[in-house]
Chains A and B, each alone.
Chain A
Amino acid sequence: MKEYRLDCRHPIVHIPDLQLTLKRGDVVWLGEEALKSTVLQALCAIGAVSVNTGRSCSDMRSAPPPSVRIPRQTGAVVRKNKPVVEEVAPPPQPQREVSGDDLDARIEKAVDRMAERLAQVLSRVPAQQSGDPAILAQVVSDAVARSLQNIGVAAGGVSSKRVSADEPIYIPTGLVSESMGDLPVASAASEAGGLDDAATALRKSRKKTST
């Protein structure tokens, strides 16, 4: 039987159909059956988790890591990175400067919301499309964007800028139509009053600056 290594890269990830809750740095070994999880595939597509090529159980026998097994309903197995000999505090994660004391809590809430929305959205995806990674990735990206839209993470005191959903993506052509006719335009004339001198001075100034 082949097993696949699942690395969690997100602060917190819920995979409801595998009944898994993982934190960043957690490693889980999964059976082949578990890879069919649509949520797992979607999380892989957005890079929240990664699944590495599996190896057979016989390969692992030479150095079997102590494992902590989770409920067997789905065949998923959780194993910690290091042998659990004694309770060891997890290594400190590199600290990022963030704005807002409650950022972690807000992110956790957002991820919870994301998981709920993800489950709702995935239930609406037609069965024949649910295996399409591109569709899943889009669905998950949308759900993540909606869940995280109110959280701005800042590093180094500089607020992050987001591209909003209504941000333009193209400029249409044919904006000047010949057939739309003439409009009344108000016209007036004023004295040129030094305009030519200003233009000459500006040209000289720009030449001087460029040399």
Chain B
Amino acid sequence: MSSDKKTQLGVGLDLGTMNIVAARRKNGKVELSRIRDAFLDLESGAKKMLKLSGVSYIERGEGIVVVGDAALEMANVFGREARRPLSRGLVAAGEIDALEILGVMVKNVLGTPTEPNEVCYFCIPAAPVDEDRDVVYHRGVFERIVTECGFRAISSNEAMAIIYSETANEGFSGLAISFGSGMCNIALAVNGIEGFSFSVARGGDWIDEGAARAVGSTRSRICALKEKGFDLMAPVGREQEALALYYKSLIEYCLETTAREFLRIKDKFSLPKAIPLVVSGGTSLPTNFVPFLSSVFERMKKKFPMEFSEVRHASDPMNAVARGLLIQAVQEYDE
């Protein structure tokens, strides 16, 4: 095999509650493929309308399935909720329909392997500390899907992928928080060695639900408002204020849980110096998220058991996990 081809090998696959993203190296750049993690099953009678609208669909049994962004748009048209194959970050057990849809989505974002058994690192969340759920089934399902796509599947912790993507200059030392839609994943590493990793079963969806309840609105309306963008440091109106309140609560919850987890391992794992706190994920996208987080942290700083050199956003918050997974896949080939 030529060295040119060799440098192109390896894929990173971020499997999120909201998006599935694959990252590859191509022509000296990182090529990203993304699909919205949602689907909508419809009666076959809707085919004609979908064809006229130019919406792609999959024929499945006697019905049809619309997948991705189009599923969300069509859900509004038909007055229904789009289905999500992942529930709070993990595959919903017993959702055979969802597994097949996930299989199609992953196959489409991954494409065909450059060579048989090309390495594909895919992310799995850490087990949540606040819910009686584990990630065994989730990992097993995606291991099978990625393998059936023709790749050698290797699983990796989601927040550690951010460490690999964002803290190379610090020798892979830092605390990474992935603020996702279904959950938040947190990992601490020093010199690439994981100190702890865990997840909390709260994320963007939890914020939407809470804010919607608080102001008597709907979750989808609050979600749309949030995705449209707003300034966390200067919320305008009741809905944005409710969102900011729930953001504050989520950040406090993540930091308090981090402090508690750190105290459990601090005798076995020492931090030689201050480390960076890197935040990432779709839920970290509102304007001024980092200053907002810093202001929340400032109030609990005295009691916090570790010191941060800085708090910063990942260079590309939506793709940091996929990029970190790609780095791990690439290092399997580099000599």
Contact = CB atoms under 8 A, between A and B. Distances in A.
Interface of A: 161-162, 166-168, 171-177, 180-203, 205-206, 209
A152 to B, nearest CB: 10
22 contacts: A168-B93, A174-B148, A175-B103, A176-B107, A177-B100, A182-B108, A183-B67, A183-B104, A184-B35, A185-B33, A189-B31, A190-B32, A191-B29, A192-B29, A195-B327, A195-B330, A196-B330, A199-B331, A201-B172, A202-B168, A202-B172, A202-B192
A68 B193 CA distance: 68
A180 to B, nearest CB: 5
Contacts of B334: 196, 199-200, 203
B26 A189 contact: yes
B26 A166 contact: no
Contacts of A172: 96, 99
Contact of B102 (A162, A173, A175, A191): A175
Interface string B144-156: 1100110000000
Given A176-B106, A183-B68, A206 B192 contact: yes
Contacts of A184: 35, 56, 68, 70
B300 interface: no
B34 A176 contact: no
Given A189-B32, A192-B28, A197 B168 contact: yes
Contacts of B144: 171, 173, 175
B29 A180 contact: no
Contacts of A200: 331, 334
A183 B35 contact: yes
A171 B145 CA distance: 10
Contacts of B331: 199-200, 202-203, 206
B29 A186 contact: no
A57 to B, nearest CB: 53
B72 interface: no
B191 A205 contact: yes
B327 to A, nearest CB: 5
Interface in B48-89: 56, 58-60, 67-70
Given A185-B108, A200-B331, A206-B192, A175 B168 contact: no
Contacts of A186: 33-35, 69
A192 B191 CA distance: 22
A185 B327 contact: no
B316 interface: yes
6 closest cross-chain pairs (CB), A and B: A175-B103, A198-B168, A203-B331, A199-B330, A176-B148, A199-B331
A200 B192 CA distance: 13
A188 B108 contact: no
Interface of B: 7, 25-26, 28-35, 56, 58-60, 67-70, 93-94, 96, 99-100, 102-109, 132, 137, 140-141, 144-145, 148-149, 164-165, 168, 171-172, 191-193, 315-316, 319, 323, 326-328, 330-331, 334
A186 B319 CA distance: 13
Contacts of B164: 198, 202
A196 B327 CA distance: 7
A204 to B, nearest CB: 9
Contact of A171 (B60, B69, B107, B137): B137
B32 A187 contact: yes
Given A171-B144, A180-B60, A197-B168, A202 B316 contact: no
Given A161-B132, A195-B326, A195-B327, A180 B58 contact: yes
Contacts of B69: 186
A183 B319 contact: no
A182 B112 CA distance: 12
Contacts of B107: 176
Nearest to B316: A190
Contacts of A194: 168
A92 to B, nearest CB: 34
B35 A185 contact: yes
Given A168-B137, A183-B56, A198 B165 contact: yes
A172 B137 CA distance: 11
A174 B104 CA distance: 11
Nearest to A204: B331
Nearest to B36: A186
A168 B98 CA distance: 14
Contacts of B140: 171
Contacts of B193: 209
Given A183-B58, A199-B327, A209-B192, A166 B30 contact: no
Nearest to A183: B108
Contacts of A181: 56, 58-59, 104
